[in-house]
A = this chain, B = another copy of it.
Amino acid sequence: MKKKKINLAIIGFGNIGSYFYKTLNSQKRKIELKTNKNFVIKYVCAKNLKRKRKVKFPKKLWNNNPLSVCKMDDVDIIVELIGGAEGMAKKVVFSALKNKKHVITANKSLIAKYGDALSIIAEKNKVNLEYEASVAGGVPIIRSIKNGLVGNKMNKIYGILNGTTNYILSEMEKNDKDFFDVLNEAKKLGFAESNPTSDLNGNDAADKIRILSALAFNKTISKNKILTSGIQNINLNDIKHASGLGYKIKLLAISEIRNNKLIQRVHAALVPKKSYMANINGVLNAIIIDAKPVGRMVIQGEGAGPGPTTSSLISDLCSVLRGNIKYPFGISYKLRKKIDNFDIFKHISSSYIRIDVKDQSGVLSSITKSFAKNKISIKNLIQTPDKKSRKASIAIITHESFEKNFQNLIRNLYRNKYVINKPTFIRIEKV
């Protein structure tokens, strides 16, 4: 008996799209054997057929109207690889689900912003919405939460979710180079986009941790802005100071339940040199899950690039081909909780603060007064004068205090007449 073929449309044919297309063709038979289903790539949507591409596809597959493809009767699965939370990507995914097509997407900003609305449509229309590639590239973290660890109650999920910033921080440390030098190298090597803003300011990692939170804690995706800061303020001296004190600096994304409330944050953190997270270097991603009864689970792999992304896209495809409609977030939308946010001001940490000051008498007393006023006590202080420019840099490790106090302190310091620019504030994280 001939099996019904399942028809696929790939929408978006850049680096990822073309690598996915190529791999799908070479792995076709294997995928069909493993899923016991046959499929064909029916359409490829790309803006411009004539653009030079490493991978060629038969002209007859080409369609330049993605929205019409989403409505076609002979399409079962839409693979959206355009990217971005708005514009065509959004239209395509909403339209596909409304027209009862399964959707596979690598689009983290779309899922982080519209994942709940999309899951409602997918559930109503009994189609799958799969997005393994949207978080941590090839690392099958979403599938692991939904399937492999399904019997667990999660307490905390955190990790390194942005390869670009991790590459920059690792290279700065390894090669004694400054932020902008490494950033430029990263761009040349393809590890940073030409406009890397959302990587550098933490927004990319924030999208990802919001998706993981929703999955791990069976909750809706939080709409509120979460504490997000990036790595643009970090310079080589910070890395050296941290190193001298036994720490490395990493951009962490952290989500946890504390007193039945949710606390999500993305920020650079000092982590002990010997810790697992400190040793995740380059473009790698790594995630730690604390859960019961499994204990602590760690998973790491390549966080971006056509290969890892394609690995995840194919796992999504197999999930659709194998059948059985799955809840996009592991549990029906109706049953997903809304968890109150933990008051971030009540978060306690110790921290590293670097303050660039004019090298004048009275500076130190003025600075330390601010600390005392904000009830933050100092554990270590290193002052490095730069005689030539008549500036100095004061690096301080504090004892534990409330986030609120730190934020007030930074504001006070920034207003201090001796202080040259906004102090760099990096929380110390026990990981």
Residues of A within 8 A of B (CB): 19, 23, 27, 31, 33-34, 132, 138-140, 143-144, 147-152, 276, 279, 291-302, 305-308, 310-315, 317-319, 322-324, 326-327, 330-332, 335
B307 in contact with A302 (CB, 8 Å)? no
The contact sample of 24 A-B pairs, CB cut-off 8 A, is A23-B293, A31-B151, A34-B327, A34-B330, A140-B144, A143-B147, A143-B148, A147-B147, A147-B315, A147-B318, A148-B312, A148-B315, A150-B315, A151-B311, A292-B307, A293-B308, A293-B311, A294-B302, A295-B308, A298-B298, A298-B299, A298-B300, A299-B299, A322-B326
A33 in contact with B301 (CB, 8 Å)? no
Closest 3 CB pairs of A and B: A140-B148, A151-B314, A293-B307
Among B149, B301, B305, B312, which residue has its beta carbon within 8 angstroms of that of A311?
A: B149
Bound-state Cα–Cα, A298 to B302, Å: 10
**Most chain B beta-carbon neighbours within 10 Å: one of A31, A293, A301, A335:** A293
A152 in contact with B33 (CB, 8 Å)? no
B19 in contact with A293 (CB, 8 Å)? yes
B293 in contact with A306 (CB, 8 Å)? yes
Bound-state Cα–Cα, A147 to B140, Å: 9
CB of A163, distance to nearest CB on chain B (Å): 12
Who on chain B is nearest to A137 by CB?
Answer: B294
A332 in contact with B151 (CB, 8 Å)? no
Q: Answer whether A319 and B147 are a contact pair too, CB < 8 Å, given A293-B308, A299-B299, A308-B294.
A: yes
Q: Chain B contacts of A151 at CB under 8 A?
A: 23, 27, 31, 310-311, 313-315, 317-318
Who on chain B is nearest to A26 by CB?
Answer: B153
Q: Chain B contacts of A299 at CB under 8 A?
A: 297-300
CB of A278, distance to nearest CB on chain B (Å): 11
CB of A77, distance to nearest CB on chain B (Å): 15
**Most chain B beta-carbon neighbours within 10 Å: one of A19, A147, A322, A332:** A147
Q: Chain B contacts of A313 at CB under 8 A?
A: 151
Bound-state Cα–Cα, A335 to B294, Å: 34
Who on chain B is nearest to A132 by CB?
Answer: B148
CB of A104, distance to nearest CB on chain B (Å): 12
Who on chain B is nearest to A330 by CB?
Answer: B34
Bound-state Cα–Cα, A318 to B324, Å: 13
Who on chain B is nearest to A319 by CB?
Answer: B147
CB of A289, distance to nearest CB on chain B (Å): 9
Q: Chain B contacts of A317 at CB under 8 A?
A: 151
Q: Chain B contacts of A327 at CB under 8 A?
A: 34
Who on chain B is nearest to A138 by CB?
Answer: B294
Given contacts A19-B293, A298-B298, 9 further A-B contacts (CB under 8 A): A31-B151, A34-B327, A140-B147, A143-B148, A147-B147, A149-B311, A276-B279, A293-B307, A294-B308
Who on chain B is nearest to A332 by CB?
Answer: B33
Who on chain B is nearest to A308 by CB?
Answer: B294
A301 in contact with B298 (CB, 8 Å)? yes
B297 in contact with A33 (CB, 8 Å)? no
Bound-state Cα–Cα, A311 to B152, Å: 6
Q: Chain B contacts of A295 at CB under 8 A?
A: 138, 301-302, 305, 307-308
B149 in contact with A33 (CB, 8 Å)? no
Q: Answer whether A34 and B331 are a contact pair too, CB < 8 Å, given A294-B302, A298-B300.
A: yes
Bound-state Cα–Cα, A160 to B319, Å: 29
B138 in contact with A144 (CB, 8 Å)? no
B293 in contact with A301 (CB, 8 Å)? no
B302 in contact with A296 (CB, 8 Å)? yes
CB of A135, distance to nearest CB on chain B (Å): 12
